[in-house]
Structure 1
Amino acid sequence: MAYDEVLAERIRDALGPDRVDAIEKKMFGGLSFMIDGNMAVAASGRGGLLARVDPNEATELLRRKSVETMTMGGREMHGWLHVGPDVIDDDAALTEWVHRSVAFARTLPRK
């Protein structure tokens, strides 16, 4: 499944001023947005959003509706969450996830 082009455009809008710094890359069937060389957020190839978050906050965030740990190749990717499409239908919710992911990516060493 290819990523959702409409969602990708909504992510661009949600990035706001950070859009200038974001580099887009097609990866894993999705479209990722890189900040300072680190993947921050992506329009998932299986629908919904991939959000990179502080691993210390992940347990709490997993309590939210339609949020699960991202799994790739049968492995759970700690600090990466798949946010279901129903959650991000709302622009405010999408913006919250995008900003959370960008803020965390900015704490990582530049690549």
Structure 2
Amino acid sequence: MAYNEHLAERIHQVFREKHIAVEEKKMMGGCCFLMNDKMCIGLDTDKKTGKDRLMARVGPEAEAEALKKTGSKPMDFTGRPMKGYVFVDPEGFDMDEDLEYWIQKTIDFNPFAKSSKKK
């Protein structure tokens, strides 16, 4: 699974600074961070461009606003965008304050997110 380990550590650092426990899990072709057993944010490498990107679970209500931010676009693996999720390209998270923005958006939505069914 290809993903940027430095970016993963930056994400961990933000959660540590906020005193939030997360679980790191390899999934969706990259690495995802789960809070309360629910996906918050993840990272992978875009196979088309070779660039790192975030996968942010911001929720359906915040999606339109999130898509106005630099580097964001609908999260689409299969030709059909996933509601409430966005991809963010590096220009949208290179600065620490931008990465923190995305992480905070996912933290804010997490209490309202539904858990995946356990297998």
- Tell me the equivalent position of 1:43: 43
Structure 1 residues without counterparts, runs of 5 or longer = none
Which consecutive residues of structure 2, in runs of 5 or more, have no partner in the other structure?
A: 47-51
Runs of 4 or more, structure 1, over 4 Å off, are none
Report the TM-score, using the length of structure 1 for normalisation. Answer: 0.89
Alignment of 1:1-111 (within 5 A): 2-16=2-16, 17-18=19-20, 20=21, 22-46=22-46, 47-109=52-114
Higher relative contact order (CA 8 A, sep 6+): 1
Given the superposition, is the C-alpha separation of residues 44 and 36 from structure 1 closer, same or farther in structure 2, using an over 3 Å criterion?
A: same
- Rate the CA distance shift 1:59–1:28 in 2: closer, same or farther, 3 A: same
Q: Which moves more between the two structures, 100-109 or 69-78? A: 100-109
Aligned length: 109
Secondary structure, aligned partner of 2:70: coil
Contact 1:15 1:95 (C-alpha < 8 Å) held by counterparts: no
The CA RMSD over aligned residues, in Å, is: 1.6
**Higher-strand-fraction structure:** 1
Identical counterparts, % of pairs? 33
Tell me the distance in 2 between the aligned counterparts of 1:34 and 1:88: 19
One-letter code aligned to 1:57? A
Structure-2-length-normalised TM-score: 0.83
